[in-house]
A and B are shown apart, each in its own frame.
Chain A
């Protein structure tokens, strides 16, 4: 423990926080442009070249906007709620490695803010704190839409967290470690999305629910609850919620990339060439960026495509479909590892997924016929 260590931590933290904040700003632009592209329109392109200054304009507008606090709110929690929402979103990105260990200035630097042995556990723990902010915002607003949004959010996040946690269990089983860096290294030859395809898909679904994105954006559900939990917020407080949502998107995409898409590792067909991370360490963050962008694009794409699920169906889907399916997947993965037959895992995983899809289909068909 010397002062250089503190300096290292400080620099790394600054880099991560700045990346997230700048990423948030440009993610809004990215989302609006991609949505516009998918919706046969142009999108914001007036501020700067192709709209690159749009986030700046938005930020200035939000900062100078009057912050209106309605009279009936519970002031302490009303102020605290946006902060509680935004902090876990930033903090969760700490364990994500964005490159291999680097030898710089005569010391080994790990390209992750926190080199925790319990990486997956940390992610699960921090991610679940974020929901408090939303619930408190909904409750302290003293508004019926906000209340309904907050309640929906708490139920939804708790339900989907179970599946999400089991996804972490899968990853831990396959990698034999909870350490994020070791999980990435374990995917050197084979990404876990290939080894455990259904688990990866469930992870993507559960993350969508976890960050309240379409088609699971129940807590805001514009068409039903006007704006849900943040109905009463304006100005910078609203911007904090907005920020939390987008930072969570980035963080959760990074986590998905780390756990299922090989993290900062190059794709398998580039292994051994000069494009490998082993040869050029600086390619790690670039690969990470590409993967995160692809996942973010996927999220935006889903939003542009799918209508929202109904709240009760969402809960039923989480508890009756995803949770049992995940339990089965954990079981088959464990079987595959015990039998030391790696090929068994994807086969059993796909089989379980197929059975689940078939059963859901059957149940839905029956429901329609009964009516």
Chain B
């Protein structure tokens, strides 16, 4: 990677005259690039400025301005703030924007998502298919002028559903087909679907029928999923097998797709908070934090001191329980019959008890508010947390380490399997433990600190081989570091108010954009939001670690055995709630 040049002394507009202009809209930052110069600019940003890590790519539909915008958030893996640049095209099909997959391969799935939901055609993308919706779906649902069946209004609360303050389900009032829009000339009675799988199977690499020793060999295509015990939900991978060896693989997702982002744009700012719980349902606390962070950034409000500590405590407890479950389930994927998983669940229950005590719910916590948290921690819960943090959890993590790390079968199943080098991990935009296991010490808590993480003394866990064994070990290391943070946070938590804002149902968010990123247990969780000053977000995009980390799945799996594929998928740590959104 090239030595980064300091950005502030560099005037990008002068470097690319006429092609790059600063984004001068109020509340916006970064640069606007013309689509023609995009690739050249991206190359320059990566190679000469050192922004080697593409974190977020999403489209925004500015319907009133008749403009489709694609936003890129790039960062340096050496740390520090990032660079935002945009490119836009008139909102007239086909909207064509060059693909940056050749520069950042990690853009692969994110561009497919933008194509799927916004209809931005990325020219030069190797495999531009729909990713969350199915092939054959009519229209691009995230566009502002796309309306779903049973369409009510653009924003909530829907007036029609509250006649005289009483709740009525829209579905009950609507006769079937009453407000369903079909494009002209489309008759659902006569419609025969095109085979949605055709494009998928075409994209698979074909295995050559070789004749070695006069015996003809052939491949078989196996659909792992959507109903399969070890895809952790309704995830599907189409695998081409040569005997037991994986030759080619394509992940298929979207079975749990509910267009979270469209729902997010309909909701008011505060209504979105409980919806973030449902993204990664193991870590609702960190999801809350990511969203709260993005909105607070845009609002420019401080967070109450005590709430900052509470947030750290909750996020780190959440990280520990996530990693415990991950290790347990990874072992389960390796074929250990549930024992490690159930041992992990035992500890997780204790952490969930704490969550329940403070937020009222074990999994869907909905605990954070803009400027603070919703309830204070009482002394009983603090005592529980202290017991966990100073006694039980360190002991149990040691026990896991002692029982599992040296096990011969685990070592032989994990060591040297599916390695990913540091360069590849960065290129594929891997995040979180997956990135750090490959030898890149990039942790947002240190690289681009948020909250009060700069006050704590902890190390960024890093391992250097990038194989499955390191992906397992890094989780243990991270739990140790989380315990360190927790111990400091529990000791240092001050008394005081838990929110800097008055509780209210409406939130005034000034116009502008912001990108809030937190180090979730699974990797970088980013929220890109655009406000127009209305009570609802104009754009609400979630950059989820499960989704982006899967970009490298094919790269990791090809050449391994079918049994390894299951373990690799387990170590990526996907949760379908946030993968399919």
Residues of chain A whose beta carbon lies under 8 Å from any beta carbon of chain B? 35, 38-41, 144-145, 147-148, 214-215, 217, 221-224, 226, 303-313, 364, 367-368, 371
- Is B174 part of the contact surface with A, judged by Cβ < 8 Å? no
With A148-B562, A221-B335 known, 11 other A-B pairs at CB within 8 A are A38-B339, A144-B222, A214-B335, A223-B229, A223-B333, A306-B336, A309-B412, A310-B413, A311-B563, A364-B411, A364-B412
- Is B483 part of the contact surface with A, judged by Cβ < 8 Å? no
- Is B422 part of the contact surface with A, judged by Cβ < 8 Å? no
Residues 342-374 of B contacting A (Cβ, < 8 Å): 342-343, 346
* Number of cross-chain contacts by CB at 8 Å: 90
CA gap between A40 and B562 in the complex, in Å: 31
Kindly supply a per-residue 1/0 record for chain B positions 400-431, scoring 1 wherever the CB is within 8 Å of any chain A CB and 0 otherwise: 00000001111111011001000000000000
Contact B335 A215 (CB under 8 A): yes
Q: Chain B nearest CB: distance from A314 CB in Å?
A: 10
CA gap between A40 and B413 in the complex, in Å: 26
CA gap between A308 and B415 in the complex, in Å: 15
The range of chain B's interface size is: 35 or more
CA gap between A367 and B230 in the complex, in Å: 28
Q: Beyond A224-B562, A226-B229, A368-B415, is A311–B244 a contact (Cβ under 8 Å)?
A: yes
For B336, list chain A residues within 8 Å (CB): 305-308
Contact B563 A221 (CB under 8 A): yes
Q: Chain A nearest CB: distance from B195 CB in Å?
A: 19
For A367, list chain B residues within 8 Å (CB): 416
CA gap between A38 and B338 in the complex, in Å: 10
Q: Beyond A223-B333, A226-B228, is A39–B563 a contact (Cβ under 8 Å)?
A: no
For B564, list chain A residues within 8 Å (CB): 310
CA gap between A40 and B407 in the complex, in Å: 21
Contact A308 B334 (CB under 8 A): yes
Residues of chain B whose beta carbon lies under 8 Å from any beta carbon of chain A? 220, 222, 228-230, 244, 331-339, 342-343, 346, 407-413, 415-416, 419, 465, 467, 561-564, 566
Contact B563 A310 (CB under 8 A): yes
For A307, list chain B residues within 8 Å (CB): 331, 334-336, 407, 409-410, 413
Q: Chain B nearest CB: distance from A367 CB in Å?
A: 7
Contact A304 B346 (CB under 8 A): no
Contact B563 A224 (CB under 8 A): yes
For A303, list chain B residues within 8 Å (CB): 337
Contact B419 A223 (CB under 8 A): no
Q: Chain B nearest CB: distance from A292 CB in Å?
A: 22
Q: Beyond A307-B407, A312-B561, is A224–B412 a contact (Cβ under 8 Å)?
A: no
Contact A304 B561 (CB under 8 A): no
Q: Beyond A223-B333, A311-B244, A371-B416, is A305–B339 a contact (Cβ under 8 Å)?
A: yes
Contact A224 B342 (CB under 8 A): no
Q: Beyond A215-B409, A307-B410, A371-B415, is A40–B222 a contact (Cβ under 8 Å)?
A: no
For B407, list chain A residues within 8 Å (CB): 306-307
For A38, list chain B residues within 8 Å (CB): 339
Contact A217 B335 (CB under 8 A): yes
Contact A39 B339 (CB under 8 A): yes
CA gap between A35 and B335 in the complex, in Å: 14
CA gap between A37 and B229 in the complex, in Å: 24
Chain A's closest residue to B333 (CB) is A223
Contact B230 A224 (CB under 8 A): yes
